[in-house]
Amino acid sequence: MASAAPAEGAQGSPQAGAVRPLRPYVMADDPEPPPAPEPAAPVAPAVPAAPAVPVETDAPPGEPPSGRNSLALRPFLLTAGRVAGSSSGSSDPPLPLETQVVATAEGLAALDGLAFERQAIVAACRVPQSLAELAARLRLHLNVVRVIAGDLHSARQLAVYVPQASTAQDVSVLRRVIDGLRAVPDSRGLPRGNRPA
């Protein structure tokens, strides 16, 4: 990210002023990124017309957004062309699908000031849920949700709980999962007896 951004910026900056106003939807709430705890990599400017943005291959560049239907937009317009992981440093692996996200009080307080997907995400996260659920329920691309969730997290509007991979080898967790699953009744609603070994 950090290495590519200057190059991209060099391509995109002269045009950025001209390009971005055409896409109010994209820039609706994308001011300067909030000061991140880590030295924030410069956010790539929204340059939908640049061929360097890899996520759109099927539509001619520079095509204005058609109407208000967000699904008609190429998904990564919503993230200013960033893909998962770029908001918090490209070395970070993408957030796991089951990562739990919860709206913060700050996020809920700012709800009215948020636009579109961000508002929808924060509102949906009144109840803790996974990124996968969020993407499915809001009909957003999973990786778009990853990026926006990262942004909201940086803005302190969303708490992100990243599960640890080592949990999978944790005996006590495995026992709890097994016990919990054993209690699941079968289709007739009868709780299950002891499993034969």
Instruction: For the segment 162-191, give every residue that binds another protein (CB under 8 A).
Output: 162-188
Question: Residues 138 to 167: which contact another protein by CB under 8 A?
Answer: 141-143, 146, 153-154, 156, 159-167
Least gap, CB of 21 to another protein (angstroms): 23
Q: Nearer Cβ to another protein, position 14 or 175?
A: 175
Q: What is the DSSP string of 7-53?
A: HHHHHHHHHHHHHGGG-HHHHTT--SPPPPSS-PPPPPP--TT-TT-
Among 54, 61, 62, 113, binds another protein (CB under 8 A): 54
Dihedral angle sign, alpha carbons of residues 72, 43, 56, 129: negative
* Segment holding 102, helix H or strand E: strand 100-103
The letter for the amino acid at 25 is Y
Choices 20-28, 52-60, 61-69, 114-122 (CB under 8 A): range interacting with another protein: 52-60
- C-beta closer to another protein: residue 19 or 107: 107
Contact 156, 107 (CB under 8 A): yes
- Pair of tokens at residue 168: 């999978």
Cβ distance to another protein smaller for residue 66 or 91: 91
Q: Give bridge partners of residue 101 from the DSSP assignment.
A: 129, 160
Collapsed DSSP state (helix, strand, coil) of residue 100? strand
**Looking only at residues 14 through 33 of this chain, which bind another protein when binding is defined by CB under 8 A?**
none
Instruction: Count the alpha carbons within 13 Å of 79 in the hemisphere toward its beta carbon.
Output: 27
What string marks each residue from 92 to 131 as x (binds another protein by CB under 8 A) or -? Answer: -xx-xxxxxxxxxxx--------------------xxxx-
CA distance 131 to 55: 20
Q: What's the one-letter identity of residue 19?
A: V
Q: Give the C-alpha separation, 174 to 168, whole Å.
A: 7
Q: Name the residue nearer to another protein (CB basis): 24 or 173.
A: 173
Contact 90, 84 (CB under 8 A): no
Of these, 1, 77, 110, 122, which contacts another protein (CB under 8 A)?
1
Tell me whether residue 21 or residue 188 sits nearer to another protein (CB atom): 188
Site for another protein in 55-94 (CB under 8 A): 55-57, 76, 81-86, 88, 90, 93-94
Using CB under 8 A as the binding criterion, the count of chain residues that bind another protein stands at: 86
For another protein, give the closer residue by CB, 24 or 137.
137
